[in-house]
Structure 1
Amino acid sequence: MSENLPKLSVHVLGGFSITYGDKPVSFGRNNATKAMKLLQILIYRGEQGIAREKLLEELYGREELADVANNLRVTVHRLKKMLADAGLPPYDYVNIKKGIYRWDAPMETEVDARRFSQLIKEAEEAEDLKEKIMLLKKACMIYTGDFLPDLSGDDWALVEGIQYKNQYTEALKQLCNYLMDSGDYEEVLKLCAPACEMYPFDEWQAVRIDCYIALNQYKEALKEYENTAKMFFEELGISPSEKMLTQFEMMSSKVNYNPQALKDIEKRLKEQEEEEGGAYYCNLPSFRDNYRLISRMIERNGQSVYMMLCSITNGKGQPMENGSKLEAMTEELYVSIKYCLRRGDCFTKYSPSQFLILLVGANKENCAMIFERIKKYYAREHKSWGQYLEYFISSVADVDQGDSPIRFDKDDTMWK
């Protein structure tokens, strides 16, 4: 190994990339080839290497090839050419000895995942708290996403990825606890920001909310909660955890407004004028609140209110699987519902393929006509789409009594 050559820095967390010195190494259109996969395996295995049989399994295990040994020789040759074309110094790079394939480079090769694990180990062994915090912080900053995401379909890469994520999760938890104990909430907010981006459903937002509360920044805490709740309901159809709901109740009571600013409050509450008019769309938590209010109102005035569940199916009564087609169909259904209903009606997205609608002053016959109107508008450009649309209706009174195909769960947090 030559000490005069620049270091080869390899990133396998959050994607695959190589930097030679301060210059990115580009492989052109070779990113999805067997040679690229071989490169990733060899660099990650490092000095330990990988046995020929195991390498053949990882490269060609799911393929039926007449001569896998020859295919491996060709792949190794292509890898060497690929490295030369990328501008790396002339060298063999692939060391084969006694059936073990190893990465053999003339320069120092550093892999971010290995450095990450080493820092975690050093932090575990550190006795000084300041040193432990420093090491954990360095490790968390190195972790930028899942291990080799392009190879996540391979069992070995999936297992490695789970281990690295678990290490990151535990390290960040420890780090946040240490920093919050010392009152360094601003630093915790910064450290949890990338975690929220990488793993939005792991509720790192709850840690950020705790920090905002500790800093008496209740409006920021409330905004963090509302954004998270909206994401959970719209993407997964579930509510945030009990911890986050408790946080919400506490910080809501802390958000105070100046009584003299009533006009400003009214301005904030007032709906923004919309040119197209139509039904009012709200997120699922707001829809649930509207439902509860209307349910109380009809106890007094006896007004007829129906709830409709519109679903996009696969044509056989089953929910359509998520995908680009469903996304387009859902967007079109949103437009159709908004266009076909009155301003006094409200609706929400319940799941990736379903919308709930509150129809004030409607009766059962009206509901069927309303659905036909929505269906007709929905299929105006794609005639076949109408066959994928189904609906259920129930009066709000029936929903409350439990005598309905549309109902709340016992904990009032989900819809059936």
Structure 2
Amino acid sequence: MDELEKYRGRVSVRMLGEFSIAVDGKTVSEQLRRSKKLRGVVQYLLLNADRPVPHTELYETFWPGESSQNPRAALKTLMHRLRAALVQGGAPDDLPFFLVQQGSYQWNLGLKAQMDIETFEAACQRLHGGGLAREERLELLRTAASLYRGRFLDSSEIWMLPPAAHLHGQYLSVVGELCGLLQEDEQYDEIIAVCREALQIDELDEAANYALILALTACGRTQEAMAQYSRITDLYYDDMGVQVSDELRALYRKIAEVEQATELDIDGVRGKLEEREAQGGAYVCEYGIFEDIYRIEARCLARYGGRMFLALLTVTDAYCQMPEQRVLGKAMERLLEASCASLRRCDVIARYSPSQYVLLLPTVTYETGQMVLERIRRAFRRLYPKAPVVISGKLRPLRPCEEQTENELEE
């Protein structure tokens, strides 16, 4: 009997979401958590299991920039430690995980190990191949989505990045097609579950956020949809310093329409419009809502007069440049907190850009408006005394709607 026969099919490897090697369902790779280099070598050999990996390639990958008179001896010592760590974790002493060849090492393909990345890729290849009936394709998409339990390894090394990007792209494609078919079948609850799982893995994926918001709206869960939109908007500003797409912003505007229904009782309408709880400070809203409020107020000024100012608060570093993202995110949070504490309930504030807030200040003069901006700056400094940023503010009076039209005609 072939010595290897008793081990075939008993080894499984997980590389999506977390890394582990198991024999007969028992994890034997726990000891590798203590050494990034040991873990990296076995991961590299697994990723390149289809070929012998030369000693020189392994040495240059895991000892970059180092010189050694005997790199082969260093690798031999490392592989000995690797085998010992797996045995210490519970692997059989005689289980041959690796093959030692002339000038190279290779993962032992004779083990016929079950690797999650291979199973996932096989499912994706079947999907690319076509020729599947709709229901069969739907089930395969569900299977592929469930197989992707997280990103490939931890992407801490350059050599991990290409396969990580490839696998993640395939996963997002699977999720997109799956949600499309489920939407045709009006399976909104399943779409919500699929998207929430996808966003646990990649919370910034706009397509999954869009599908989730759309499904929540279709289920009548518009408050959840609006909360999700608010969350992804903040994440885009804080993590990437950009706005969400026009498509997602347009979807947000449609959510309010879904909320409306025929209501014969005016008191019922009023109840829906009223704030659920009395909130102090300024009214914080999404920029699209701010635009509508601004235009309504400009119309009111044209008819009834009065005073109102538009203010713009901008966060920069000492060189008038946008701060690095880590600093900017915290500064914008503190600036919003300071603004809400310093403004009145009739004032309105929205985020205009990654580093700016825009404000509407009714019934103030230019002088009192400047005092408001200074009050916000002082409050910000109390909340974030060591902030390496500068808060600048500009103030302009609102132009009544009629003046805007006249000026545009003259131009």
> TM-score band, normalised by the shorter chain?
0.7 to 0.9
The aligned residue for residue 270 of structure 2 is 266
Pick one of 138, 142, 156 that aligns with 1:137: 142
CA contact (8 A) 1:229 1:239 kept: no
How far apart are 1:340 and its partner, in Å? Answer: 1.7
Unaligned runs of at least 5 residues, structure 2 = 406-411
1:33, distance to aligned residue in structure 2 (A): 1.6
Taking structure 1 as reference, are residues 230 and 292 closer, same or farther at Cα in structure 2, changes over 3 Å only? farther
Which stretch of the first structure deviates more once superposed, 286-295 or 336-345?
Answer: 286-295
State the match for 1:409 in structure 2.
Answer: none
The residue aligned with 2:36 is: 33
Distance 1:205 1:395, change over 3 A: same
Correspondence for 2:409: none
Match of 1:118, SS?
A: helix
Is 1:99 paired with 2:103? yes
What is the DSSP-based 3-state SS (H/G/I as helix, E as strand, rest coil) of the residue aligned with 1:316? coil
Residue 48 and residue 360 in structure 1: after superposition, are their counterparts in 2 closer, same or farther (change >3 A)?
Answer: same
**Of residues 78, 83, 86 in structure 2, which corresponds to 1:80?**
83
1:121 aligns with 2:125: yes
Matched letter for residue 369 of structure 1:
M
Task: Identify the match of residue 380 of structure 2 among 378, 381, 395.
Answer: 378
Q: Distance in 1 between matches of 2:79 and 2:400?
A: 69
CA, structure 1 residues 198+382, in 2 after alignment: closer, same or farther (shift >3 Å)?
Answer: closer
The answer on whether the counterparts of 2:285 and 2:349 sit within 8 Å (CA) in structure 1 is yes
Given the superposition, is the C-alpha separation of residues 22 and 339 from structure 1 closer, same or farther in structure 2, using an over 3 Å criterion?
same
Equivalent in the alignment of 2:350: 348
- Where 2:206 maps in the other structure, the secondary structure is coil
SS of 1:289's equivalent in the other structure is helix
**Change over 3 Å in CA distance of 1:125–1:384 after alignment to 2:** closer
Whole-angstrom distance in 1 between the partners of 2:305 and 2:350? 24
Of stretches 308-317 and 64-73 in structure 1, the one that deviates more from structure 2 is: 64-73
Secondary structure of the corresponding residue to residue 309 of structure 1: strand
- The answer for unaligned runs of 5 or more in structure 1 is 403-416
Q: 2:281 aligns with which of 278, 283, 290?
A: 278
Superposition RMSD in Å: 3.5
Q: Could you say what secondary structure the match of 1:34 adopts?
A: helix
Query: Which residue is 1:408 aligned to?
Result: none
3-state SS of the aligned residue for 2:155?
A: helix
Secondary structure at the aligned position of 1:204 is classed as helix
Moved more, 312-321 or 117-126: 117-126
CA offset at residue 101 of structure 1?
1.8
Q: From 360, 363, 374, give the equivalent of 1:361.
A: 363
Structure 1 position 307 matched with structure 2 position 310: yes
Aligned to 1:46: 49
Secondary structure of 2:359's partner? Answer: strand
CA, structure 1 residues 231+254, in 2 after alignment: closer, same or farther (shift >3 Å)?
closer
Alpha carbons 1:310, 1:390 under 8 Å: kept? yes
Q: CA deviation at 1:212?
A: 6.1
Structure 1 position 10 matched with structure 2 position 13: yes
Shift of 1:116: 0.6
C-alpha displacement at 1:274, in angstroms? 4.9
* 1:321 Cα offset (Å): 0.9
Distance in 1 between residues matched to 2:337 and 2:383, nearest whole Å: 13
Deviation at 1:41, TM superposition (A): 1.1
Contact 2:311 2:393 survives alignment (8 Å): yes
Instruction: Provide the TM-score with structure 2 as the length reference.
Output: 0.80
How far apart, CA to CA, are the structure 1 residues paired with 2:12 and 2:45? 14
Deviations 1:235-292 (A, max 9, x none): 33566545555655666545443525544443343224457x2222223333233222
Task: State the AA in 2 paired with 1:230.
Answer: S
One-letter code of the match for 2:367?
E
* Identity across the alignment (%): 23
Most deviating of 137-146 and 175-184: 175-184
**What is residue 408 of structure 2 aligned with on the other side?**
none
Deviations 1:174-218 (A, max 9, x none): 4444444555555444333323443333322433455567xx63x
How many angstroms apart in 2 are the aligned matches of 1:117 and 1:107?
19
Question: SS in structure 2 opposite 1:373?
Answer: helix
The 8 Å contact of residues 6 and 20 in structure 1, kept in 2 or not, is answered as: no
TM-score by length of 1: 0.79
SS of structure 2 residue aligned to 1:149: coil
Q: Does 1:335 align with 2:340?
A: no
